[in-house]
């Protein structure tokens, strides 16, 4: 699985570090490690956390290896993975702003993708809403997804948490493949192997305040004050 290979790639960066703060908020999950690094992911409240009460003070490597069996566990595991990764040579902004073409495909939870750089945008929403269209955008329930051919495809990192990413990768044909969003993990060797050519991330510019926003139940509009978007071309 992709998540397992990401863990293998980032294992060395996690070695010797412990979780010193962890919050599973209503929208996001945050983890701070013993070296002060902070990771954030989406909260998906499905399943149970088998290590509930044992995350604080635990070894980061053992946690990411154990917390993979449900979306709520992967919320914690992905946040831990997001706390590490030596991102060099990044650009500020969103990778979708440097691409253009005929068709853009997007996968995520109510992804607010607005762009005039593509003739049409097809969004597969993990919330499975009724199909609707507006301007050049068509929103479809993810449950209706079978296959797609697109010029560019954005898969939000929430697909890692939800466990949908393998299905998407197996059924998509695209010229450009982007992993993006708050739950996107910087594991460039693994992602390049799977065909990704861009990684977009949201990183904290004020780690303590970003952590507090998550712990206090903040939403995207609150978290955006203490984070910024970056991207790397692989």
What CATH number has the domain bearing residue 9? 3.30.390.100
Which three-class secondary structure string do you get for the chain? Answer: CHHHHHHHHHHHHHCCCEEEEEEECCCEEEEEECCCCEEEEECCCCCCCCCCCCCCCCEHHHHHHHCCCCHHHHHHHHHHHHCCCCCCCCEECCHHHHCCEEEEEEEECCCCCCCCCEEEEEEEECCCCCCEEECCEEEEEHHHCCCEEEEEEEEECHHHHHCCHHHHHHCEEEEEEEEECCCCCCCHHHHHHCCCCEEEEEEECCHHHHHHHHHCCCCHHHHHHHEEEEEEEC
Q: What is the pLDDT of residues 104-119, one digit of tens each?
A: 999 999 887 777 899 9
Task: Looking at the structure, tell me whether residues 61 and 131 fall in a common domain.
Answer: no
Residue 194's nearest CA partner among 210, 219, 174 is 174
What is the model's pLDDT at position 81?
A: 97
**Looking at residue 174, which CATH number applies to its domain?**
3.40.50.11590
What is the model's pLDDT at position 61?
A: 95
Residue 3's nearest CA partner among 175, 183, 222 is 183
What is the model's pLDDT at position 188?
A: 95
Degrees, nearest 5: CA angle 167-171-177: 90
Task: Looking at the structure, tell me whether residues 150 and 161 fall in a common domain.
Answer: yes
pLDDT confidence bin for 1, thresholds 50/70/90: confident
Range with the poorest average pLDDT among 2-6, 84-88, 179-183, 212-216: 84-88
Task: Looking at the structure, tell me whether residues 38 and 125 fall in a common domain.
Answer: no
Task: Looking at the structure, tell me whether residues 103 and 170 fall in a common domain.
Answer: yes
Answer yes or no: is 232 within a domain: no
Look at the chain and report how many structural domains it folds into. 2
Answer yes or no: is 103 within a domain: yes
Average pLDDT, the chain: 94
The answer on pLDDT for 21 being more than 90 is yes
Task: Looking at the structure, tell me whether residues 118 and 83 fall in a common domain.
Answer: no
Give the domain range for residue 128.
89-199
Task: Looking at the structure, tell me whether residues 9 and 71 fall in a common domain.
Answer: yes
Question: For the chain, how far is it from start to end, CA to CA, in angstroms?
Answer: 21
d(CA 15, CA 10): 9
pLDDT confidence bin for 169, thresholds 50/70/90: very high
d(CA 11, CA 21): 20
Task: Looking at the structure, tell me whether residues 138 and 159 fall in a common domain.
Answer: yes
Answer yes or no: is 75 within a domain: yes
Answer yes or no: is 72 within a domain: yes
Task: Looking at the structure, tell me whether residues 42 and 30 fall in a common domain.
Answer: yes
What is the model's pLDDT at position 144?
A: 97
Task: Looking at the structure, tell me whether residues 211 and 180 fall in a common domain.
Answer: no
Task: Looking at the structure, tell me whether residues 12 and 68 fall in a common domain.
Answer: yes
pLDDT confidence bin for 64, thresholds 50/70/90: very high
Tokens read off for 129: 């809403």
Place of tokens 């898969």: 155
Task: Looking at the structure, tell me whether residues 43 and 103 fall in a common domain.
Answer: no
Answer yes or no: is 132 within a domain: yes
Answer yes or no: is 233 within a domain: no
For the segment 181-204, the average pLDDT, to the nearest whole number, is: 96
CA contacts within 13 A on the Cβ side of 225: 11
Task: Looking at the structure, tell me whether residues 98 and 187 fall in a common domain.
Answer: yes
Answer yes or no: is 231 within a domain: no
Answer yes or no: is 9 within a domain: yes
pLDDT confidence bin for 44, thresholds 50/70/90: very high
């Amino acid at each position: 699985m992709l998540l397992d290979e990401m863990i293998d790639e980032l294992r060395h960066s996690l070695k010797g570090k412990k979780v010193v703060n962890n919050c599973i908020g209503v929208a996001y999950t945050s983890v701070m490690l013993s070296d002060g690094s902070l990771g954030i992911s989406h909260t998906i409240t499905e399943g149970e956390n088998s290590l509930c009460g044992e995350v604080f003070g635990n070894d980061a490597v053992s946690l990411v290896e154990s917390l993979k069996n449900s979306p709520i566990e992967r919320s914690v595991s992905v946040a831990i993975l997001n706390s590490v990764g030596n991102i060099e040579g990044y650009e500020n902004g969103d990778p979708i702003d440097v691409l253009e073409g005929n068709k853009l495909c997007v996968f995520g939870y109510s992804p607010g993708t607005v762009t005039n750089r593509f003739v049409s945008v097809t969004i597969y929403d993990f919330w499975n809403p009724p199909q609707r269209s507006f301007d050049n955008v068509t929103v479809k329930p993810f449950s209706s997804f079978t296959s797609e051919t697109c010029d560019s495809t954005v898969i939000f990192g929430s697909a890692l948490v939800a466990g949908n990413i393998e299905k998407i990768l197996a059924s998509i044909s695209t010229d450009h493949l982007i992993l993006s969003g708050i739950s996107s993990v910087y594991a460039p060797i693994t992602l390049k192997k799977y065909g990704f050519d861009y990684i977009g991330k949201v990183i904290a510019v004020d780690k303590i305040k970003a952590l507090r926003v998550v712990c206090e139940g903040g939403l995207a509009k609150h978290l955006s004050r203490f984070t910024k978007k970056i991207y790397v071309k692989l």
